[in-house]
Amino acid sequence: MITTPTIPFVSTMNESDENVWLQALSKLMPDETILPLRMLNDQARQLVDIAIVANPDPEELQTLPNLVWVHSVWAGVEKILQSPVTHNFSIVRLVDPKLSQTMAEAVLAWTLYLHRDMPEYAAQQAKAVWQPLPYISASERTVGVLGLGELGKEAALLLAKLGFNVIAWSRSQKTIDQIETFSTSEGLDRILGRSDILICLLPHTPATENLLSFENLSKLKPGAKLINFARGRIIDDEALLYDLNRGHIQHAVLDVFAYEPLPVSHTFWTHPKVTVLPHISAPTTVQSASEIVAQNVRNYRHLRVLPDTVNTQLGY
């Protein structure tokens, strides 16, 4: 009887959260042995060809010399990609339709929050001010979406379905029905200049770090509103605060930050034009993510077929 190598689960989670994943994955893959990396001795690590990871310490993966590929249970894999530690294995990020639906739901909720002037009404309530604000229909509101991967595409289509005028930008040109799409730096300028609400859903790569800089934020339509559900380092915090303080940007909904949890002393917590969320826009669903990982592992074991892997040069 041939036994397959143990699959290590490599993460920075606490033991309780880690056990939730281990139980779900083990139940769906009864023919596999899935254990925390710390439980594998040197001999077992030599045999490992697959690892399941969740924001792992890249140096821990270096203890698996014959690793062929890793499967992330999250969509983001930038911690591995941007590590100075070199790697020879392939990286598979989570592509989960349920995650796309969850993100689209969050994008719609917080777009409506800005579209229907909820921050302004909350400020008025605090001052006991009864003052209706002018109504603008969805068709008159231009929403720009940065990033047209699975998450961005799903969100853009849902917004269009609700009647918003949706335009979108991605690094490579894409075509989507009902959506006016752009690429290139000139295309980004057009998106920024036309958007009433700008939504960032880009992956964090060297090319997108600080993409929304002083220069690019200044190109936003005056009075625009901003949602960042991507990664904190895509926006220059100082540039954002500058444009919020001078009134160029009316409000920002931020779910991701350069440092998380957001330090209690950070200006964003108390800024009247910022809504802070604790990285909750699209939480991974353990069951659906585990089902996808399990199917991809089975395909590899039986057919030697790898799922789509991350382009390490592009970062996604």
Catalytic residues: 231, 279
Chain position carrying tokens 């056990």: 19
CA-wise closest residue to 201 among 166, 249, 169? 169
- Residues in the chain, how many? 316
Residue located via tokens 């939480």: 283
Count CB atoms within 10 A of the CB of residue 305.
Answer: 10
Give the whole-angstrom CA distance, residue 156 versus residue 164: 9
Question: What is the SS3 assignment for 248?
Answer: coil
Name the token pair of 50. 């697959």
- CA neighbours within 13 Å on the CB side: how many for 276? 14
Q: Which three-class secondary structure string do you get for 74-99? A: CCCCHHHHCCCCCCCCEEECCCCHHH
Q: How far apart are the first and last CA of the chain?
A: 39
d(C-alpha 25, C-alpha 2), whole Å: 21
- In the block, residue with structure tokens 């770090």: 209
Structure tokens at 135: 């109504």
**Burial grade of 272 (CB within 10 A; 0-12, 13-18, 19 or more):** exposed
The rounded Cα 60 to chain-centroid distance in angstroms is: 24
How many other C-beta atoms can be found within 10 angstroms of the C-beta atom of residue 259?
A: 10
